[in-house]
Amino acid sequence: MSTILQMQSITKEFPGVKALDAVNLTVERGEIHAICGENGAGKSTLMKVLSGVYPYGTYDGAIIYEGQTARFHSINDSERAGVVIIHQELALVPHLTVAENIFLGNERRGRSGLIDWNRANHEATDLMNQVGLHENPTTPVSQLGVGKQQLIEIAKALSKEVKLLILDEPTAALNDTDSAHLLDLLRLLKTRGITSIMISHKLNEIESVADTTTVIRDGKTIEALDMSDPDADEDRIIRGMVGRDLEHRYPQHEAHIGKEVLRVKDWTVYHPTQQDRVVIDHASFFVRAGEVVGLAGLMGAGRTELAMSLFGRSYGRQHSGSIFKNGEELHLRSVSDAISAGIAYVTEDRKKYGLNLIDNVRRNISAAALFKLSRKGFVNGNEELKVAEEYRTSMNIKTPTVMQTVNNLSGGNQQKVVLSKWIYTDADVVILDEPTRGIDVGAKYEIFTIVNRLAAEGKAVLVISSELPELLGTCDRIYTLAFGRITGVVDIADATQEGLMKLMTQERSAANAGTEDKEQARS
Amino acid sequence: MTGTATLKEILLRNLRQSGIFLALVALLLLFAGLTDGTMLSPGNLTNMVLQYSYILVLAIGMVIIIIGGHIDLSVGSIAAFAGAVSAILVIKNDMPWWVGVLAAIGIGVAAGAWQGFWVAFVGIPAFIVTLAGMLLFRGATWYVLGSISLSPFPKPYQEIGNGFLNGLLGGQGYDIFTLLIFAFAVAGYAVSAVRGRRARIAYNQSVETLVLFVLKIAVVAAVVMAFAWQLANDRGLPIVLIILGVLILVYAVVTTRTVFGRHVYAIGGNLTAATLSGVKVKWVNFGNLTNMGFLAGVAGVLYSARTNSAQPAAGNLFELDAIAAAFIGGAAVTGGVGRVTGAIVGGLIMAVLTNGMSLMGLGLPQQQIVKGLVLLVAVAFDVYNKRRAGTK
């Protein structure tokens, strides 16, 4: 093996912050190289330096790529050299077709200078085959699920004759099947001599796929682990990332379960645009005071749809069934109905659904409960400031001041702001949708400590997650959801990953549409 | 965070806000120099207030519309229609002047509510709805006026746009009443600033140093009183200035201190997050558009009173001046960002530019070119700033 990339003592400073401090990274040709680190450790910055987002000259240190000092001034420069980065948020244009997306900016032209669509579609089919995708090249990408979109991104990279593929959290939005498929694809590309750098928080994936793992902490390289070494396991990586041992990945939680708070009976919801399509089918469940209940389901099972439809009918049409709180039936017609009934829904994807990114911490925290801070329509700004400061302390939100724009916070701290916002509504039923997606191990621990605190205060907590170890580590009881139906409920004492997965893939009704359709409905 | 901030920190933290204030002052001084002081003469300052008041009124509403993530192209037409209806009632049908005022404002509110309905409840983008409104209300104006101008309005109606409060307390060549009103305003500003500072200290927030704080109030007081002195030496306190002052004050409070204002910012900043936070998005949008209609009605009254007539072509292109004022004042095209005071300063920059160039004898062509470039540069400056802040 030869070395394809050497980043030597890379230092990148922003006004007031040293994001990277003499970071070294050595990547061998044809390996899968994982980069691990807490959020804010500098992984993305490092990749932006490598791919020319931060042009040559704006950082210190040297990049030796293919034996030569690289001087990338833009992404175009790095792509020409075969370095292609696939960002966490997919950069596909939803209304364009697969082929149009693959060749966007790199269009296949005929002799006349106009685009040769036959050639483009033909080559697109070929590229898709290489990544194991069998779709019509003229399908708009919006009709494909996230997993397939991720594959299209890779096909797009292949079209640029990629030598070094950088993937930023490629499996963050994927379910287990799609993730496995993607990792297999990386292994396949490896046999073809394509080198991959993968940023990921999913340590089990890193363990299974990576040849080398570089750990970054606080803008510094901590170590590069050879993954063939038997000692280089998840715990070893975590120790490097956080600089300490995490005895328990999830905080201890002692349940003091009280009486039933939330009960949902025969909840049925139809798709918002496609008539006659049942998305949630007679779902029934309950959550008791002080209890942390998990809702496990694969992507497309209807987890978010269930939560959102309960939350003041924010999703779907023709809702039927009933919701009871403390034995009384609720009729929630809007989000504000749900909030005043004491229900909080901490949305998935905090950037899209949870926060006003251009506004500050203070006003994001108060956003869902301005009624508590206002009289006759006037907001008490001083009181609001006090509340924000209280939450900054109690939730350990790391920000210089509460007047900081939330966009400048790290993922974990943003999530704490979203949690603060909902806790401040004084809800006694708290639904958390993927509360730890894209945040690092340390912050995850903190989030679950907060979840435990909520339960200890006697609130009924429902956690939606696609990561089974997380549910197993934190819940008292777990419901499984498959194809819009509740397929089982398991007490934590009896729950295993295998058992849950079996329930999560159980298709009770043959009349139901396949997984593929469900996935499309989400995207 | 406890602590005090220095002048440099404050200027840097709020580069955009301080930037436009400095730009306004620089422009005033520039034109004062180029026109041998005519720019700052009592007569000219008074005229500027009278001439641009209706644009500033529209800019207040427009910036709130833009913060909410919308745009309103119809305000000029609504103002014209409001003025036309008022003229028909007052001039043609001899109704009392105040009936005209109420009717004009009522027309504005109704037109705003009509557009709000389509935007909020039917879900059509405001750009389309108000483009339709621009044609619709312009057509309605021509229709009700029968394509001719109506004039004159009775004296009290004209006073709204051209009148002054003068000599109420006497004076020796200058109006004491005007000075007194401004002195009250300055005192009110100082009191509220001191209170705000105390509250910030009580809540452990960073404040500027005491010297700087006193200096800031002193400078504001000096500038405002100098302006008052010039007005007092001309015709006294323009009535439109009182109306404008009240509107600025009210809407500054609405945007920063009320639940409605917060919800407008939330919707413009992230619509989905706002919806899922329980914001009644439809009603807030409806209210926002309706409010714009109200202010367009007020502008219609001011304009018809100022020109002492209702014309079919009144208010043409007002919407563009108002939109430009909001953007020069720091509003973001994507919504969620902007301030009423910013829009007012933006509007004043446009006013000073127009007025200054007119005094210098430059014609409409040059004025348009300069104003276009200023708008472009102001927004480019914004974009540049954001990019610099965003490289993190």
What is the number of other CB atoms lying within 10 angstroms of the CB of residue B23? 19
Domains of chain B: 4-166+235-390 (1.10.3470)
Is A381 in Cβ contact with B257 (below 8 Å)? yes
Structure tokens at A89: 């948020």
Q: Residue A517: its pLDDT value, please?
A: 43
Q: Residue A10: its pLDDT value, please?
A: 93
Q: Which residues of B touch A400 (CB under 8 A)?
A: 1
Phi then psi for residue B86, to 5 deg, are -60, -45
Structure tokens at B155: 């004296």
C-alpha dihedral, A85 to A89 to A90 to A93, nearest 10°:
-120
Q: Residue B1: its pLDDT value, please?
A: 40
Strand B237-238, strand B164-165: pairing: antiparallel
| Nearest residue in B to A421, CA atom | B277
Q: Which residues of B touch A378 (CB under 8 A)?
A: 257-259
CA-nearest of B356, B347, B369 to B33 is B356
Q: Residue B90: its pLDDT value, please?
A: 95
The reply to whether ipTM tops 0.85 is no
Helices marked H in chain B: 7-13, 15-34, 42-67, 75-87, 97-116, 126-145, 155-162, 176-202, 210-232, 239-257, 259-269, 271-276, 281-307, 318-328, 340-359, 364-390
Q: Which residues of B touch A311 (CB under 8 A)?
A: 276
| Nearest residue in A to B269, CA atom | A356
Is A382 in Cβ contact with B199 (below 8 Å)? yes
Q: Which residues of B touch A403 (CB under 8 A)?
A: 205
Q: What is the radius of gyration, based on Cα positions, of chain B? A: 21
| Nearest residue in B to A314, CA atom | B276
| Nearest residue in B to A381, CA atom | B257
Q: Residue A512: its pLDDT value, please?
A: 39
Distance from CA of A384 to the nearest CA of B (A): 10
Q: Residue A364: its pLDDT value, please?
A: 94
Domains of chain A: 3-242 (3.40.50.300), 248-342+429-441+458-523 (3.40.50.300), 348-426 (no CATH)
How many Å apart are CA A151 and CA A146, to the nearest integer?
9
Is A335 in Cβ contact with B269 (below 8 Å)? no
Return the SS3 of B204.
coil
Q: Residue A390: its pLDDT value, please?
A: 92
| Out of A334, A355, A358, closest to residue B337 by CB | A358
Q: How does DSSP classify residue B96?
A: -
Is B265 in Cβ contact with A338 (below 8 Å)? no
Q: What is the DSSP string of A341-384?
A: TTEEEE-SSIIIII--TTSBHHHHHHTT-HHHHEETTEE-HHHH
| Out of A335, A357, A401, closest to residue B276 by CB | A335
Distance from CA of A422 to the nearest CA of B (A): 9
Do residues B6 and B196 make contact, with C-beta atoms less than 8 angstroms apart? no
Is A339 in Cβ contact with B273 (below 8 Å)? no
Distance from CA of B22 to the nearest CA of A (A): 25
Distance from CA of A97 to the nearest CA of B (A): 26
| Nearest residue in A to B272, CA atom | A353
Structure tokens at A128: 């898709």
The type of residue at A20 is L
Q: From first to last of its 392 residues, what are the pLDDT tens digits of chain B? A: 445 666 666 666 566 666 788 888 889 999 999 999 888 898 898 888 888 999 999 999 999 999 999 999 999 999 999 999 999 999 999 999 999 999 999 999 999 999 999 999 999 999 999 999 999 999 999 999 998 999 899 999 999 988 888 877 776 778 888 899 999 999 999 998 898 888 878 777 777 788 888 888 898 899 889 999 999 888 889 999 999 999 999 999 999 889 999 999 999 999 999 999 999 999 999 999 999 999 999 999 999 999 999 999 999 889 999 999 999 998 988 899 999 999 999 999 999 999 999 999 998 899 999 999 998 988 888 778 777 654 43
Q: Residue B11: its pLDDT value, please?
A: 61
| Nearest residue in B to A315, CA atom | B276
Q: Residue B136: its pLDDT value, please?
A: 97
Do residues A124 and A96 make contact, with C-beta atoms less than 8 angstroms apart? no
Q: Which residues of A touch B4 (CB under 8 A)?
A: none
CA-nearest of B72, B47, B45, B56 to B299 is B56
Q: How does DSSP classify residue A41?
A: S
Q: Which residues of A touch B269 (CB under 8 A)?
A: 356-359
Is A421 in Cβ contact with B1 (below 8 Å)? no
How many Å apart are CA A192 and CA A130, to the nearest integer?
11
Please list the ranges in chain A whose pLDDT falls under 50.
246, 509-523
